[in-house]
Chains A and B, each alone.
Chain A
Amino acid sequence: MSPRRFTAALLVLGLLTACGPVETPTATAPLRSVKLMLGFRPDVQFAPFYLAQQAGYFADAGLDVTIEFKDGADLMRLVAAGQPESGVFGVADATDVMISRTAGIPVTYVSTLYERFPVALIGPSGTVPTDPAELAGKRIGTPGQFGSSWHALLALLDAGGLSAEDVTIRTYPQFNQVDGLLRGDVDLITGFRNNEPLRLELEGMAVDLLTVDEVAPLPGPGLIVGDDLLGSDPGLAAEFARAMQRAVAAIAAAPEIGFDAAAEAVPAIGEERETALSVLEATILLWSTNGGRIDQTAWESGYETMVSLGFIDGSVPVGEMTSDVAAPTP
């Protein structure tokens, strides 16, 4: 069985056994309008949300969801500041949730979307060290001193007994570090392992990866909600998460429906079907296989890493950063 099919089977099995029956509102019940903030820009990786919209998974959960795209910081603030009646959700990096929560931004992580941390160091085949200590002296391209790529890079360097001063870092704030690697301006880049490697291979560059999961595990991105909304209506977050996980499971079982949903929502995605489908299939391998249950062990380990790297001071306990309100029923 291929890894993709195995993951798909696990996802479907997990959803069927863990989530239990999804309660659907009566046909006459009005839908609750909520907003979903997604980071970066429209992409096939957001297929579960397009599918949940188009296939009626959100409607089955009593939700009328409007999707908006915001950059990471604005997303976090808007989710935190969203009034309970306006219902704002977001998808964000777990590491950013740790930092923003520590900085006083009241957001809570309620459901895992990416079970595996998607960032890796990527370079031409045969040049990527397997031991992080061998990163010393390398020229590394990364978007900037923020976000999951930066956290992963520092975690990898730390695992090798190194710091940012031991390498030459070149920043690509427009996320065009692939161009830098292709030009030979840098030796390695940070990137999402379900995206940049495929783009580089399309340009004719065979690549190897050093994934942060192997040396310094960090929890992956997931669904977040503001504390006010979570406190006033925890059921809403649970319903949203179930609809999201239902779409995740459906796409894992049949990636084509995810691609079709994404292409319908964003026609530009459909222009490069093979590439987009490849990205989606690589993304599925990273998604949660257990209905979005939060891996507390990964969170605690990641929290310790983030404290040791100085991103957070440990003043907010890790237990206050997540909620099991949307956990699938055992």
Chain B
Amino acid sequence: MRRLAATLLSLAAFLAAWKLLTVATGTPDYILPAPEVVAERGVRAIGSGLLWEHTAVTLTEILLGLTAGAATAIAVGTALGKSVVIERVLSPYIVAAQSVPILALAPLLDIWFGGGLLARVLICGLIVFFPIAIATMVGIRSADPLLVEMFRSLGATPGQRTARLEIPSALPVIFGGLRVGVTLAVIGAVVAEWAGASSGLGVLINIADQGLFDTPLMFVALVTLAVIGIGLHGLVVSIERRVIVQS
């Protein structure tokens, strides 16, 4: 109850500061709309079905991209953590892929992969991959050396060591990577939509911003993305609490 009150108080303070800024600076709505203007536009966008139409598409891309990207990242991160040779071979490519601006690469990926959902999930997954893979690698290597030695002395196979010791002990770090990854998934979906899509919140931002010059609607899309990010982050934190307590 106290946590909810603190959250609501924080939200109220944020909205008050936003409103104050628009009043104090006299900024027109087409530059920075006041919160009540955004809220009114949001209600209209919800009422017409426009917001949900685009949100559903983006949510699908986020969930699929996050799932694919995180699963691959955990598998690759585990391999990197367990084998120095694999790390030496793959690391340059992984770091290079992370260093290339995805904004430049995304339009090409969109063309190469047919411009559909697959291309957008792939772009989203690529953005999610790096922090989770690195977190997994670090986590796998953080297993207590004494416990590793004990597993060896008890005759545990490498697979048993990984499943019963290294992954459980890596979970706090993996979840740290997932917390970063889940917010990046939101950005990844928008970047993918900007590379080529006909619906989704990234598309709605473009339509509102460049097509309709409707700044309040653009803010509605931005707020929706923020809410999705906060919601998914909260979900990961909630799962983390349950999983880590159990393990």
Contact = CB atoms under 8 A, between A and B. Distances in A.
Interface of A: 71-73, 76-77, 80-81, 96, 99-100, 103-105, 144-147, 150, 169-174, 176, 179-180, 183, 185
Nearest to B210: A146
A105 B213 contact: yes
Given A170-B115, A180-B111, A150 B213 contact: no
Contact of B111 (A103, A104, A183): A183
A73 B29 contact: no
A180 B211 CA distance: 22
A71 to B, nearest CB: 7
Given A80-B30, A172-B107, A146 B196 contact: no
Nearest to B202: A173
Interface in B175-209: 194-198, 203, 206-207, 209
Contacts of B195: 173-174
B194 A146 contact: no
Contact of B30 (A72, A77, A96, A179): A77
B214 interface: yes
Contact of A72 (B194, B210, B215): B210
B196 A173 contact: yes
Interface of B: 28-31, 107, 111, 114-115, 194-198, 203, 206-207, 209-215
Contacts of B211: 99, 144-147, 150
A146 B213 CA distance: 10
Nearest to B217: A103
Given A76-B213, A77-B30, A185-B115, A146 B198 contact: no
A72 B215 CA distance: 13
A330 B214 CA distance: 39
B107 A96 contact: no
Contact of A147 (B29, B31, B210, B214): B210
A272 to B, nearest CB: 21
A170 B196 contact: yes
Contacts of B114: 185
B29 A144 contact: no
Contact of A145 (B29, B196, B207, B214): B207
B213 A73 contact: yes
B206 A144 contact: yes
B217 to A, nearest CB: 10
A148 to B, nearest CB: 11
Contacts of A99: 211-213
A73 B198 contact: no
B111 A185 contact: yes
B210 A104 contact: no
Contacts of A145: 198, 203, 206-207, 211
A90 to B, nearest CB: 13
Contacts of A185: 111, 114-115
A119 B30 CA distance: 27
Contacts of A183: 111
Contacts of B212: 99, 103, 146
25 contacts: A73-B209, A73-B213, A77-B31, A77-B215, A80-B28, A81-B28, A99-B211, A100-B30, A103-B30, A103-B213, A104-B29, A104-B30, A144-B210, A145-B198, A145-B211, A146-B212, A147-B210, A170-B115, A170-B196, A170-B198, A171-B198, A172-B196, A179-B111, A180-B111, A185-B114
Given A76-B213, A183-B111, 19 more contacts: A77-B30, A80-B28, A80-B30, A81-B28, A96-B213, A100-B30, A103-B213, A103-B214, A104-B30, A144-B203, A144-B207, A144-B211, A145-B198, A146-B207, A146-B209, A170-B115, A171-B197, A174-B107, A185-B111
B210 A169 contact: no
B93 to A, nearest CB: 25
Nearest to A312: B212
A80 B215 CA distance: 14
Contacts of B30: 77, 80-81, 100, 103-105
Nearest to B218: A73
Contact of A176 (B107, B197, B207): B107
Contacts of B209: 73, 146
Contacts of A77: 30-31, 213, 215
A73 B205 CA distance: 11
Nearest to A164: B198
Contacts of B203: 144-145, 171
A105 B207 CA distance: 16
Nearest to B207: A145
Contacts of B207: 144-146
A99 B214 CA distance: 9
B33 to A, nearest CB: 10
A176 to B, nearest CB: 6
Contacts of B107: 172-174, 176
B31 A81 contact: yes
B40 to A, nearest CB: 14
